[in-house]
Amino acid sequence: MYFFLSNLSLVDICFTSTTVPKMLHNIWTQSKAITYAGCITQLYFFLFFVVTDDFLLAVMAYDHYVAICHPLPYTVFMNPQVCGWMVLACWIMSAFNSSLNSIMVLFLSFCTEAEIPHFFCELTHFVQLACSDTLINDIVIYFVTGIVGDVPFAGILYSYFKIVSSVLRMSSSQGKYKAFSICASHLSNGFLFYFTSLGVYLTAASTQSSQ
């Protein structure tokens, strides 16, 4: 459990480090410019860490499900080797996703100067600035987003559905309190991650439509 939490903490630190330093530099220099190479680099690492965060939240939800619903065989199901492979799978799938999207962006042609209606190089806004055809990019973006976004989220919802069902069947109030205390930090992190992401993209979409 703490192994997953340490990985999630590391990813969260790296996740914010992909956008905050450049944003602070822009504020300090009063310049919003970013090079093409810098934008691609920021895009790659942002996608890498945000998808890793998403997968780790799903893995942690499954970990909590096993700990609460199957406490006796927990050490068998979630032994260090299994936990290591699960985290490694999260990193590998995230690297594949970010590499795929970044490489496909490299095949697009852009005009000499363009303005991204966002505070960082976000994928969909970046692709929309291309002067060449973006049909394949759009298909890949929606397909991959559906996989890396919906599948982990569905896994989290299913895990917590089983957890809540198991907790409600507990007769001890102390057991219920302990179960919910185990999930509290993960729930707060998950809500913060998903609702913040949703708020940022809805704000960006409304800003772009108004322009």
Three-state DSSP class for residue 109: coil
pTM, entire model: 0.83
* Alpha carbon distances (Å) from 151 to 42, 95, 159: 25, 17, 12
Ordered per-residue pLDDT tens for the chain, 211 residues:
678 888 888 988 888 888 787 877 777 887 777 777 888 888 899 899 999 999 999 999 999 889 888 888 888 889 999 999 999 999 999 999 999 999 988 888 877 666 666 667 778 778 887 888 888 888 888 888 888 888 888 888 898 888 888 888 877 777 777 777 777 777 777 777 777 776 666 555 555 544 4
* 1.20.1070.10, 1.10.3720.10, 1.10.540.10, 3.40.50.2300: CATH of 2-210: 1.20.1070.10
Distance from the Cα of residue 32 to its chain's centroid: 25
Query: How do the domains of the chain map onto residue ranges?
Result: 2-210
The continuous run of DSSP H or E covering 60 comes out as helix 36-69
Three-state DSSP class for residue 86: helix
